């Protein structure tokens, strides 16, 4: 019907179609830009460096950990030459973790470096380039070796303790450090926990493990740090701590099956003189600390206008070194003339900084002026005792003042329309507004319906990516497990082609644990294998590890060939626990 003729549209309709086309092209461009930017955002990484401790003695080792957030794959080992000026690099390791919380995926790769300082003093760990970013520099304090246990260094196991200071005040934190030195193979060790009456005791940080050389002999060291806060004056007695374990003799095959030699060590008891607070201290709260600060933020500048009824939001912060958070007083503002103060709930926390507790308390206040004029916040003072100098100190927040203006619109609050005019206009106004309000009612319902529809669309948009993320998490977890098994198997093949029997046994156990995590020692592995050839090869490998040179090649077999097809597992419900302890464990409870 319209063949050979142009279809003419009304001008208004043509303009609407043109605007729709422009909006469509704009939307497509925005989607393209987001698709191009998303890979860059997905591969953004953060890098940071941490030390397992900030102080070490000369001859000890420390661990430098390089954390790569959202590494997304393999990360090349950084250039470590800047470290070699002040440190010997004794070992390297890598570990990765993957977590998915509320649909959000996060991955972290940790590169561990075992360092031994070369000299005394404050050593700087320079920035390192990792995964396209640079780490922040760190400092390590290296001190002279402690010679208190020099007489015991001819032993395989000995202990030492340090307590500081030797004289303290009631409520002052003491640093108590316990170190266990071990040379050789120890299993089933138990280290006592301090039990002190009249003391608030808590362990600071986790257990530290490092290596240390004493008189030319290398020891493995386990270090635990405690914070002791005496609650009473007098002589504080810290009892001796003990360690009990079993020593394994590499020349005795029976020792590897639980027939070791009992060994023990003891840390000497310690005493500390605790003094009562000075008699002239008065009624102020007793706060013995190494350092203390009191600050206030949020007070407006002199040029900032403040009006009646407008709240002034303030934040007071109290932090103390050597005091836990529960020992700090409750923060408050002094009375403010011409204003009402509304305090918030305080937030307290106790952090750990090397050997000393870091207590902090933060509280917010809303100061609402009630009248125009000059508003003054009086000074706030807090008295505390400096345990390093033995002198009383005062932390102070100075007084603040500001001019408060009248409330906005206060002068125009009273209407100036004559009463006769207002009374005359009221009926007409009411009559004229009634139809408008009735006319607005349908539009309110339409607006509410549109809002509900928009909320439902937003909810669907929020739920869909999380469903997809959960499915991706399952696939990613399976991929991580498969990669771990392949890497462990490749490590075993590389070790099996060498001549180090101990390395072959360790890599074989590591491979087996990726498939069956419950396997912790060769006896459990042999019990779980169904193939007699693999069991015989494992037995021969153990004998070679224990120094039995008479093991024949036929008995041990070609490890690569025997385990070429993987492990021949027995059914899980038929595997019996042989009850044997691990061969080389070293765990302290």
Give residue 103's pLDDT. Answer: 72
Report residue 144: phi and psi, to 5°.
-70, 150
Question: For residue 117, is pLDDT > 80?
Answer: yes
Query: What is the β-pairing status of strands 312-321 and 356-369?
Result: antiparallel
| Least confident stretch, 222-231, 303-312, 463-472 | 463-472
23, part of any domain: no
The C-alpha atoms of residue 86 and residue 585 are separated, in whole angstroms, by 33
pLDDT band at 412 (very low <50, low <70, confident <90, very high): very low
Same domain, 187 and 263: yes
| Least confident stretch, 323-332, 386-395, 488-497 | 488-497
CA-based Rg of the chain, rounded to a whole angstrom?
37
Same domain, 188 and 258: yes
- What is the DSSP secondary structure assignment for residue 149, as one 8-state letter? T
Question: Mean pLDDT across the stretch 559-587?
Answer: 66
Element (H, E) at 94: strand 87-101
Give residue 154's pLDDT. Answer: 52
Question: Mean pLDDT across the stretch 242-257?
Answer: 68
Angle at 178 between CA 174 and CA 180, to 5 degrees: 175
437, part of any domain: no
Residues sharing a CB contact under 8 Å with residue 266, sequence separation 6 or more, in sequence order: 159, 240, 241, 242, 243
Same domain, 123 and 233: no
User: What confidence tens digit (pLDDT) does each residue in 25-54 have?
Assistant: 655 555 455 444 444 443 445 888 999 888
User: What confidence tens digit (pLDDT) does each residue in 259-289 have?
Assistant: 567 778 888 889 999 999 998 898 889 999 9
Question: For residue 562, is pLDDT > 60?
Answer: yes
Same domain, 302 and 209: no
pLDDT band at 171 (very low <50, low <70, confident <90, very high): very high
The C-alpha atoms of residue 74 and residue 400 are separated, in whole angstroms, by 56
Give residue 415's pLDDT. Answer: 41
Question: For residue 390, is pLDDT > 50?
Answer: yes
29, part of any domain: no
Angle at 303 between CA 297 and CA 308, to 5 degrees: 80
Pseudo-torsion of CA 19, 22, 23, 29, nearest 10°? Answer: 180
Pseudo-torsion of CA 64, 69, 71, 76, nearest 10°? Answer: -20
User: What confidence tens digit (pLDDT) does each residue in 225-234 have?
Assistant: 999 999 999 9
Give residue 435's pLDDT. Answer: 38
Give residue 353's pLDDT. Answer: 64
Tokens of 11: 């001008």
Angle at 326 between CA 322 and CA 330, to 5 degrees: 110
**Domain holding 299: CATH number?**
2.60.40
**Residue 341, domain extent:** 288-405
Domain closes at, from 405, 437, 470:
405
Same domain, 154 and 268: yes
The residue with tokens 């470590």 is: 80
Which is more confidently placed, 467 or 68?
68
| Least confident stretch, 79-93, 207-221, 440-454 | 440-454
**If you average pLDDT over every residue of the chain, what do you get?**
78
446, part of any domain: no
Question: Mean pLDDT across the stretch 486-504?
Answer: 86
Percent of the chain predicted with pLDDT > 90: 30
pLDDT band at 378 (very low <50, low <70, confident <90, very high): very high
Same domain, 156 and 254: yes
Report residue 508: phi and psi, to 5°.
-65, -40
Same domain, 229 and 134: no
Same domain, 139 and 154: no
Same domain, 546 and 570: yes
User: What confidence tens digit (pLDDT) does each residue in 364-376 have?
Assistant: 999 999 999 999 9
Among 246, 268, 266, smallest CA distance to 191 is for: 266
The C-alpha atoms of residue 535 and residue 537 are separated, in whole angstroms, by 5
Give residue 499's pLDDT. Answer: 83
pLDDT band at 416 (very low <50, low <70, confident <90, very high): very low
Question: Mean pLDDT across the stretch 144-163?
Answer: 69
Give residue 489's pLDDT. Answer: 87
Question: For residue 478, is pLDDT > 60?
Answer: no
507, part of any domain: yes
> How many domains is the chain built from?
4
Domain closes at, from 82, 108, 143:
143
pLDDT band at 436 (very low <50, low <70, confident <90, very high): very low
Question: For residue 538, is pLDDT > 90?
Answer: no
pLDDT band at 442 (very low <50, low <70, confident <90, very high): low
Same domain, 309 and 399: yes
| Least confident stretch, 45-49, 127-131, 352-356, 393-397 | 352-356
Residues sharing a CB contact under 8 Å with residue 86, sequence separation 6 or more, in sequence order: 117, 118, 119, 123, 124
Same domain, 215 and 292: no
Domain closes at, from 405, 437, 459:
405
68, part of any domain: yes
Give residue 176's pLDDT. Answer: 93
pLDDT band at 588 (very low <50, low <70, confident <90, very high): very low
Question: For residue 3, is pLDDT > 50?
Answer: no
1, part of any domain: no
Same domain, 107 and 208: no
Which is more confidently placed, 64 or 553?
64
333, part of any domain: yes
Question: For residue 179, is pLDDT > 90?
Answer: yes
């Amino acid at each position: 019907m319209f063949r050979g003729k142009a279809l003419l549209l009304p001008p208004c309709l043509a303009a609407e179609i043109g605007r729709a086309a422009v909006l469509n092209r704009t939307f497509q461009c925005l989607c393209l830009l987001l698709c191009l930017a998303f890979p860059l955002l997905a591969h953004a990484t953060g890098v940071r460096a941490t030390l397992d401790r900030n102080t070490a003695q000369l001859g000890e080792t420390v661990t430098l950990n390089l954390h790569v957030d959202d590494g997304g794959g393999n990360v090349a080992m950084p250039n470590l030459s800047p470290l070699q000026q002040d440190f010997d690099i004794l070992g390297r390791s890598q570990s990765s973790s993957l977590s998915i919380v509320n649909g959000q995926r996060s991955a972290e790769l940790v590169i561990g470096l075992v360092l031994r300082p070369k000299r005394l003093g404050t050593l700087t760990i320079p920035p390192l380039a990792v995964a396209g970013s640079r780490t922040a520099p760190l400092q390590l304090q290296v001190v002279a070796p402690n010679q208190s246990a020099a007489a015991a260094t001819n032993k395989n196991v000995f202990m030492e303790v340090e307590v500081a200071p030797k004289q303290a005040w009631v409520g002052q934190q003491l640093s108590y450090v316990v170190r266990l030195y071990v040379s050789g193979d120890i299993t089933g060790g138990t280290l006592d926990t301090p039990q002190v009456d009249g003391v608030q005791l808590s362990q600071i940080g986790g257990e530290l493990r490092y290596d240390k050389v004493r008189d030319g002999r290398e020891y493995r060291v386990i270090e635990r740090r405690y914070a002791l806060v005496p609650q009473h004056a007098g002589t504080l007695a810290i009892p001796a701590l003990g360690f009990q374990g079993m020593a394994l003799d590499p020349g005795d095959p029976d020792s590897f099956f639980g027939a070791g030699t009992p060994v023990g060590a003891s840390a000497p008891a310690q005493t500390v003189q605790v003094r009562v607070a000075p008699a002239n201290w008065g009624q102020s709260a007793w706060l013995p600390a190494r350092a203390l600060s009191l600050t206030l933020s949020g007070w407006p500048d002199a040029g900032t206008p403040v009006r009646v009824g407008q709240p002034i939001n303030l934040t007071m912060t109290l932090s103390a070194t050597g005091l836990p958070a529960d020992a700090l007083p409750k923060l408050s503002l002094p009375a403010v003339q011409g204003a009402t103060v509304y305090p918030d709930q305080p937030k307290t926390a106790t952090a750990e900084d090397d050997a000393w507790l870091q207590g902090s308390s933060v509280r917010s206040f809303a100061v609402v002026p009630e009248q125009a004029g000059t508003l003054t916040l009086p000074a706030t003072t807090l008295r505390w005792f400096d345990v390093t100098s033995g002198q009383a100190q005062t932390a102070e927040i100075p007084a603040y003042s500001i001019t408060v203006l009248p409330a906005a619109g206060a002068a125009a609050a009273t209407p100036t329309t004559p009463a006769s005019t207002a009374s005359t206009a009221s009926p007409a106004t009411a009559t004229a507004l009634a139809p408008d309000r009735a006319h607005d009612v349908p539009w309110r319902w339409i607006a509410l319906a549109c809002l509900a529809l928009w909320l439902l669309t937003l909810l669907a948009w929020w739920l869909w990516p999380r469903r997809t993320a959960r499915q991706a998490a399952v696939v990613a977890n399976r991929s991580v497990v498969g990669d771990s098994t392949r890497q462990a198997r490749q490590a075993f093949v590389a070790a099996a082609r060498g001549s180090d029997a101990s390395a072959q046994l360790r890599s074989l156990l590591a491979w087996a644990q990726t498939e069956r995590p419950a396997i912790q020692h060769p006896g459990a592995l042999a019990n779980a294998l169904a193939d007699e050839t693999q069991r015989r090869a494992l037995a021969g490998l153990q004998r070679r590890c224990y120094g039995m040179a008479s093991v024949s090649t036929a008995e041990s077999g070609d490890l690569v060939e025997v385990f070429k097809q993987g492990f021949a597992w027995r059914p899980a419900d038929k595997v019996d626990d042989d009850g044997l302890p691990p061969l080389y464990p070293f765990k302290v409870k």
